[in-house]
Structure 1
C-alpha cells in the first residue's frame, strides 16, 4: 500500500473500564472486559497509524419501552455519547485512556438508537443525543440498532421502516449489523426487504444510506463453496444488496466467523481461504463502495494483540490481487468511508 494513502478505520469500539457494567454483552469473564480506549487502540494499530477512526456503538444496556415513554431507558447509550464527546473535545477524566492530542482521531461516531420505537421516539432520542453530544454533534453521522440477535421480523415492523425513512430525511446513515452465520438465510432475506421498503417511494436524495457491517457475517467455516447452500445464499444476497447505490460494505469481522485453526495462520494463508467471499464482495460492490474496517477490539478474540495488523495485511493483499489502481486503493482505505458517512476530508 502506498505510504501516502491515509487510513480511516471504519469500525472500532471503545469503552473506559469504569463503564464496562453498562455494556450488555460484556460479562466479567469476557476477554474484552477491560479498558479498551484510545491509548489501547493506538498501541494495537501502531504499525500503520490510522489518520482517524469511526466509532460504532458497543451495545450498551437499554430499555426500549421506558425510553419511548420518558427517556429513562436510554441512560447507557447516552452515557456512551458523553464518553465520545470527552474524547473528541479533549475533556479528560482520570484513567479513561485518552489525551487531548487524541481529539482529532475520531472522524465520526455512530451511537445506538431506538429504531423499533418508531419515528416519534426517534425524534425525541435524536434531540437528546444532540444535546448530550454538544459541540461533537457534527461528528454523529448516523445510528445503529444491532439486528443480529433480535427476533425475526424486527427490521420489518412499520415503526422500524418509518424510523429508517426519518434517518434518510435527516441525512443520517443506518449502520446495519446482521449475522448470516448464526441466523441463516432468513435474516439476509429480511435485510433485502427492509431496504426495499425503506427506499420505496422516497426521493433519491432522502433515501437512507445503509452501511453493512462485517460482510453480513458469513460462515467462513464452509469448506466447499460450490455446493454450500449457506455460501450460495450469502452470495445471492450480496449481489442483491449491491444493486442499491445507497449501500456500502465493510471489509471487517472476518476473524469472528472463521475456525480457530485458521485465525492463527499467516495473513497470506487466511487470504487464500477467504478468497471466495472477498471475490464476491469486490465483484458486487467494487472499490467505490467497500471500506477497510478492523472491528477492534473484537478482532483480537482468539487472534491476539497482532490482530489489527494481520487484518490490515489481508486487505492489502486483496487490493494487490484485485489490481486496484491508486484511486481504487485510496477508496478502500479511506475514500469510501469519507463518502459513505459524509465526512469532510
Structure 2
C-alpha cells in the first residue's frame, strides 16, 4: 500500500487482497469469493464505497491515494503507538480519540482533526501538568492510561473547542471589507474561482486566488495568510451540486457548516441548480484551520453558463456570513 497505486473494479492481485483485508478488519467485510481470487469485484467496490461514505470521503469506489491514507489512519487505536510532535505531523484515529478525550475534559485541542499538531501538544501538556505527569507533550503509555481512567468516569459531551469556536464566530460579526479570504480550485474550476475572487474584491475583501491544484500548498497558503475563510471549487460531471464543510463523527466546523448553508441557499436561489451541503473529511477541509468549504458543482454546462450569477451569489452569501456568522440559511 506504500506505493498508493490506484485500484478500481476489475483489478486483481496482492494489492487488491491487502485492501480487502484492511476493509474487512475495519468491519467492512468483503465476500470470500473475491478475497480468494484477489479480484476487485462488485462487493469490494461496494464495501469501499461504504468505507468512503462512513469516513466522509467521495464515495466513488475507487481506491486512490486519499482513501489509502485514511484507510491506514483508521487502523490506529489510542495506545498502539506513542504520539508526539514531528514533521510531517502524525495523523490517525488514535489522534482523533486523544483530541476527543482531552476536549471532553476541557483542554483546548482546537479543531478535532486527527492531526497531532502544536495545539494538541499544548493541550496534552496542560493535561499532564494538571494530573502530575511528566510534562513532555508525548502521549505515551502512562499519559494515555491516566486519560482513559478519567474518561471512564462520566464526562460532558460538549467539546471545549466547539464552545470556543462559536464564541469566536459571535465576536467575528463584521462587514466583508478588509477580510482575508483564500480561493482555490481543482481541475476546471479556475474560471468560476477567478470570477468569485473578482466579486469579493469589489466588496472590499482581501483575496488570494490560488492556481496551484496541490491541496497541501493551498492549505499552507491559507493558514500562513491567516485567512478567515477558505473557498474551493471543483466542477463535477454530476447533475447536482454539493458544498462540503469539515465534519467528523465527534465534531464539525461550526463556521464551515453555517457558511456552506448560506452558499447553498444563494446558489439555489440565483440559478435554480439543486445544491446541498455535506459534512466531509476531505484533505483540504481537514488541513485548513479556518472555516472552509469546497464547492463541488455540476452539471458542467450549467455551471459554465451561469458563472457570473454563481459568483455573485457566493459573494452575497459570504458577505451575509460575515455579518451573521452564526446564522443558518432558512
Which band: TM-score by shorter chain?
under 0.3
Question: Hey, which of these two has a bigger chunk of helix by percent?
Answer: 1
Q: Taking structure 2 as the reference length, what is the TM-score of the superposition? A: 0.26
Larger Rg computed on CA atoms: 2
Q: Which has the higher contact order (CA 8 A, sep 6+)?
A: 1
